[in-house]
Structures are given as C-alpha cells and as structure tokens.
Amino acid sequence: MRSTRATRKAEKSKEMEKKKRRGKREKGQKKKVEEKKNQVEKKRKEKDPEKKNLRERKKITSEKIVLLKGENYTYYLKKILKMLHPDTTISREALNDVNDLMNDIFHRITSEASRFTKDENCCTIVHGKIEMAVKNLFSGLLKKHAIIEGTKAIMKYNRELRK
C-alpha cells in the first residue's frame, strides 16, 4: 500500500510540474505573440507615417485648427445624389474629390470665423461669425444661398429645441 501511495504522490507531483511548465510556455508564447504584433505595427508605421490611424489628430500650424483625418461626407453625398437623381451614380474618385472640396470649404469657414471671434476676445463661434465668414469667402449667388440655407437650418434647430 505504501508503494502505491508513494507512486500516486510521485505521479501527482510530475503532473503538477508538467502543468507549471505548460503555464510558463503559454506565458512565454503570449509574450512572443505580443512582441510580434508590436514589431508589425512599428514596421507599418515606418512604411506609411501618413496612415498611422484614421482618427489620429493632425494640426495645421498656419491656421492652428485641429483636424480629424476621418472627416467624411461620402455617405451624405451619396444620399443626396440618390434623392435628387435616383438613376445617377458617382465614381469613387469623383466622390473623394467632392469630399475634399467639402472639407476644404468647412475648414476655410471655421478658420475665418475663429479669427472673428479672436478679434472680439470671445471663446465661442456663434452663427453671426459664421455668416460673416461666408460673406467674406464667397461671392454672388453662392453667398446669398449659403446664408439663406444656414439661417433656415438655425431657425429649424431652434424650433426643435423649444418643443
């Protein structure tokens, strides 16, 4: 009987040692996998520093405006195109061009409006400053329609707030 108990204890201790070794191996393997992932990410960032992350913030030093790279109006542009011309489609290249144009106009308006607010030592851009920026940037009918549509949108927003 003693020999069987001793053999059982020896077998249990061997099994425990094997489990410990397996645990150490698994921990070591996890570390190796994490190290490989980090190396792959570093290589990717070294290849394309511009494509680090779509949501990464980028600063424009001349205007001191913080932009998000992920600003994208393509969904809304497609939606409006389908409403106005259901049979018409648009290529990706054209959609990207229109998206870039929208981003450019947006940033021009906001930078101009921020200049107006800084001149008056204010911290908040209000609709009047945006209207002034639009008047300075655009001309003719484009300016007129932009101001009318902006005023309509503000009035609609205020009505919905009151409800």
Instruction: Give 95-112 pLDDT, tens digit per residue.
Output: 989 999 998 999 999 999
* pLDDT given at position 63: 42
The region of weakest confidence among 16-20, 65-69, 76-80, 96-100 is: 65-69
Higher pLDDT, 18 or 138: 138
pLDDT of residue 56: 46
Secondary structure (DSSP) of the chain: -HHHHHHHHHHHHHHHHHHHHHHHHHHHHHHHHHHHHHHHHHHHHHH-GGGS-TT-EEEETTTTEEEETT---HHHHHHHHHHH-TT----HHHHHHHHHHHHHHHHHHHHHHHHHHHHTT-SS--HHHHHHHHHHH--HHHHHHHHHHHHHHHHHHHHHHH-
Radius of gyration of the chain (CA): 31
Highest mean pLDDT among 21-30, 67-76, 116-125: 116-125
pLDDT at 129 over 60: yes
Question: Per-residue pLDDT averaged across 141-157, rounded?
Answer: 93
Provide mean pLDDT across the span 9-17. 77
Categorize the per-residue pLDDT at 2 as very low, low, confident or very high, splitting at 50, 70 and 90: low
Question: Is residue 25 predicted with pLDDT exceeding 50?
Answer: yes
Residue 57, pLDDT score: 44
